[in-house]
């Protein structure tokens, strides 16, 4: 076995995308398994990265669901407003169009 210790990559503003970090951690874990090195730290780090990925995916799903709800509410509000305008227009037209009362017919010539 190797006495080399495994260290986590530096996390900072220039860190790799999470998918790349997961792929790198998986590769490092596989290499450690092949060499027969201890893998407990790598497994913990890999599990932590996967949990972070699941959390990010869940957050994205929640944001998308919220966006769908907002869009649906907005569409409903617009439809309600359009129906209100149509009803108001129909009421104005009904008020303007008065039926002509029938006139008595006189047959005087």
What's the pLDDT tens digit per position in 2-41?
A: 445 555 555 555 578 989 999 999 999 999 999 989 989 9
> What is the domain partition of the chain in residue ranges?
18-96
Mind listing the pLDDT tens digit for each residue in 41-96?
999 999 999 999 999 999 999 999 999 999 999 999 999 999 999 999 999 988 88
Six token digits for residue 30: 């596989």
CA 92, CA 95: separation in Å to the nearest integer? 5
Give the DSSP H or E segment for 107.
none
Query: Could you tell me where the DSSP H helices lie in 1-109?
Result: 18-35, 40-96
* pTM: predicted TM-score of the whole model, two decimal places: 0.55
């Amino acid at each position: 076995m190797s006495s080399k210790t495994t260290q986590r990559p530096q996390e900072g503003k220039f860190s790799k995308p999470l998918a790349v970090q997961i792929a790198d951690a998986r590769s490092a874990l596989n290499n450690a398994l092949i060499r027969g090195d201890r893998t407990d730290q790598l497994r913990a780090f890999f599990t932590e990265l996967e949990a972070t990925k699941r959390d990010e995916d869940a957050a994205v799903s929640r944001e998308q669901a919220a966006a769908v709800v907002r869009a649906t509410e907005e569409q409903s509000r617009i439809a309600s407003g359009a129906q209100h305008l149509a009803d108001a227009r129909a009421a104005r037209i009904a008020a303007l169009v008065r039926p002509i009362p029938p006139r008595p017919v006189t047959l005087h010539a």
